[in-house]
Structure 1
Amino acid sequence: MNVRIGTFNVLNLARPGERYYPDEAPYSVAEYEEKAAWTAGQLRRMAADLVGFQEVFHEEALRDVCGRSGRFDGATVVAPGADGVSGPRLGLATRLPLAEPVSTVVDFPDGLDAVVDGVGLPVGTFSRPVLRARVVLDPALDTPATVFVAHLKSKRPIRDPQAPEHDPREEALGKARALVRRAAEAAALRFLVLDEVVGNARPAFVLGDLNDAARAVSTDIVMGDAPSRSWPRAAADRRAYWDRLLYSTYEMNARRVGRDISYTHVFNGHYETLDHVLVSQEFHDRNPDRIGEVSTLRYFNDHLFDSQLGDERRGRVVSDHGQVVAEVSLR
C-alpha cells in the first residue's frame, strides 16, 4: 500500500470581499474564482492522500478548494482558528481516517525557558499555532501516525516601527529578531516531536513551510542530531539517537538520485527549498524495522519564476511556493 503525503502553502487563501491583511485589498469574486480553480488544480496534480496547508485565512475557503479538486470528497478538511480575523492559520485535508480529533498547539511546551548568558528567549508561543493530527495510515493494519503541520517564522525582518525605513542597521536587527523567533519555534516544535516518537515505534511526519533550507540551523533543530559513524559507541545509545531523529525527504531523495534539482521558493534570484516533508525512522530505508519507506518525492514548482530575469510579476491567484509530495510505500 502506498500513501502520499504533501504540503502546500496556499498564499493567503481567503474568501472574496474580506480583507485578510490591513494593507492588502480583498480578493474580488473573479480573483477568488481564479485562485480557487488554480489551487484545486494543483491538488489534483499532487494526488495526495493527506495535505498540510499554510496561510489559510478562512476554513470555508479551504473546504471550497478541496471540494473543487475532487480529491477530498467525504474526507476531513479542517483549518482550526481560520476565522478571517486571527491571521493565517494551518489546515489539513486527509482521506486517511483520523485516530483522534485534530488539535492545535499555541503555547510552547514546558522546558523552553532557556537562558543564554543570563538572557531568556523572549518567545513563548508559536506565531502560527502548530496543527497536530493522528491518522491511520493503513486501516487494514490499524497503523497510526502522528502528523504535525507547521509554518515557522519567515526571514522577513521584524522591524522596529519607530526606526527609519531602509535603515541598514535596523534591517540587520530585524533579521536577527526573526531568526530568534524561528529558532525558538523550531525548538518548541522539536519538543512536540520528541513527546511523540521517543521510546516507541510510533511513526511521525512534520509537514510545512519551515522557512529555511534542510541544513539550516532552525530546520536542523527540528530534525535533531544524528550519531556519527563512530560515536556513540554503545549500540543502545545509537538506537536512542535514531529513535528521536527526523529525516528530510529532500535529502533522502537527493542522495538516491545523486543530484539536487529541487526548490520551492524563488526570491531575489535565490532558489530555495523552504517547504519540507520530514519523516521518523519508521520510514527510513536503512532501518531494518521500518514499516515503510519513502519511494518518491515530487515537487510541483513550474509556476514559480525568477523575477530577476524579466519584468513578469506573479499575481495573487497562484502561490509563491511550490508544493511537495512524498510517497511512502508501506510494508
Structure 2
Amino acid sequence: MNVKIGTFNVLNLARVGERYYDDTPPYTAAEFDKKADWIAEQLRRMDADVVGFQEVFHVEALREVCTRSGRFGPDDTVVAPGADGLSGPRVGFASRLPLAEDPEPIELFPDGVDAPADGIALPGGTFSRPVLRARVVLDEAAGTTCTVFVVHLKSKRPTVRPDAVDHDPREEALGKARSLVRRAAEAVALRLLLLAEIVDNDQPAIVLGDLNDGTRAVTTDVVMGDAPSRFWPPPQQPELRRAYWDRLLYSAHELVSRRTGRDVSYTHIFSGHYDNLDHILVSQEFYERNPARIADAVDLRYFNDHLVDSQLSDDRRDRIVSDHAQLVAEIRLRS
C-alpha cells in the first residue's frame, strides 16, 4: 500500500473582499476564482492523500479550494485552526485518511527553549505561526498511525524597528539576525515537540512545511537532530547508538536523491537564488536502513514549473500562483 503526503504554501489564501494585510488590497471575486482554480489544479496534480498547507488566512477559503480539487470530499478532514482572517497566516491540514485524534494547534513553546548557557539564551514564547499536530491512520487493518506536524517557521524577512529608515544596511543586517534568532528558537521548540513524540517508542512522525531554510541549514539541522558519528557511541554500546537513531528525522529529499543519484530540486527562487525552503522530514520508521521500519520513502516529486527567476525573465509573478513549489513524498507501507 502506498500513501502520498504533501506540503503546499498557498501564498496568502483569503476570502473574497477581505483584506489579509493592511497594505494589500483584498482579492476580487475574479482573482479569487482564478487562484482557487490554480490551487485546485495543483492539488489534482499532487494527487496526495495528506497535505499540509501554509499561509491560510480563512479556513473557508481552504475548504473551497479542496472541494474544487475533487481530491477531498465532505467526509474528509480539512482544517486550519485560528484561520479567521484576524490572526494572520495559519497552517492548514487536509486528509483523505482517517484520523486517530483531532488535529491540535500548538502555539506556546514547550519548556526549556530559553535555558541559558554561557550567557546566551534563546527567546521563549510562541510560534509566529502555530504548529498543527495531527495523528493520521496509515493502515486501519494494522492499526498503524503516524503523527504529522504541519509547520511554517519564521521567514528570512528582516525584523526591523518601526522607526527604522528604509533600506538602512545596518538595520537590514540587524533585522535578518533578529529573524534568524526567532527562527532558531522556533526550530528548537519544534525539535522538543518531536522528541516528546518519537523517543522511546515506535511512533512514526512526519514534518510537513516551510522551514524557511535549506536542507542543511543550522535551523533545519536543529529540527532533524544529529546522527551518531563513526566513532561515537562506540560499537560496544549499541543501546546508545539505538538511542541516537530513535531521535532523528530524515529529509525525504536526501533519502530519494541519494538512492536515485539525482538532485535537480528547488522550491523557491529569490533574486536568482534557488533554495529548498519546503521540506518533508520523516522519522526512523521510514528510513530505508532501519530493519524495523514500517515503510519506505520511494519517491519525492517537486511541482515547481510555475516558479520564475526574475534575474532571467521579465515575467512578473502575480498573487494568483504560489511563490513556492509543492512537494509530495510517496511512502510504501511494508506488510
**1:195 counterpart = 2:196:** yes
Aligned ranges 1:252-271 → 2 under 5 Å:
252-271=255-274
After TM superposition, give the deviation of residue 256 of structure 1 in Å. 1.2
Report SS of the residue matched to 1:161. Answer: coil
Which residue of structure 2 lines up, in the alignment, with residue 51 of structure 1? 51
CA shift digits 1:222-272 (9 cap, x unpaired): 000001122111211110000000000011112112132000000000000
Over the aligned positions, Cα root-mean-square deviation in angstroms equals: 0.8
Q: Matched residues in 2 for 1:117 and 1:160: separation? A: 27
Q: How many residues align?
A: 331
Which residue of structure 2 lines up, in the alignment, with residue 305 of structure 1? 308
Which of residues 257, 274, 294 in structure 1 aligns to 2:297?
Answer: 294
CA shift digits 1:163-190 (9 cap, x unpaired): 2111111110000000000000000000
Identity value in percent: 70
Q: Matched residues in 2 for 1:147 and 1:53: separation? A: 12
Which residue of structure 2 lines up, in the alignment, with residue 35 of structure 1? 35
CA distance 1:5–1:175, shift in 2 (3 Å): same
Which residue of structure 2 lines up, in the alignment, with residue 246 of structure 1? 249
**One-letter code of the match for 1:273?**
N
Aligned ranges 1:122-141 → 2 under 5 Å:
122-141=123-142
Which residue of structure 2 lines up, in the alignment, with residue 89 of structure 1? 90
CA shift digits 1:104-162 (9 cap, x unpaired): 11000011122244343234110000000001001111101100000000110001111
Contact 1:210 1:274 in 2 (8 A): yes
After TM superposition, give the deviation of residue 292 of structure 1 in Å. 0.5
Q: Matched residues in 1 for 2:229 and 2:22: separation? A: 49
**1:113 counterpart = 2:114:** yes
Contact 2:113 2:123 in 1 (8 A): no
Q: Matched residues in 1 for 2:115 and 2:277: separation? A: 26
**1:67 counterpart = 2:70:** no
Which of residues 269, 272, 276 in structure 2 aligns to 1:273?
Answer: 276
Report SS of the residue matched to 2:311. Answer: helix
**1:330 counterpart = 2:321:** no
Q: Matched residues in 2 for 1:316 and 1:243: separation? A: 42
Report SS of the residue matched to 1:308. Answer: coil
Which residue of structure 1 lines up, in the alignment, with residue 186 of structure 2? 185
Contact 1:11 1:318 in 2 (8 A): yes
**One-letter code of the match for 2:38?**
W
Q: Matched residues in 1 for 2:309 and 2:220: separation? A: 24
Which residue of structure 2 lines up, in the alignment, with residue 6 of structure 1? 6
CA shift digits 1:12-54 (9 cap, x unpaired): 0000100000011000000000000000000000000000000
Report SS of the residue matched to 1:129. Answer: strand
**1:237 counterpart = 2:224:** no
Which runs of 5 or more residues in structure 2 are unaligned? none
**One-letter code of the match for 1:15?**
R
CA shift digits 1:60-93 (9 cap, x unpaired): 0000000000001121000000000100001000
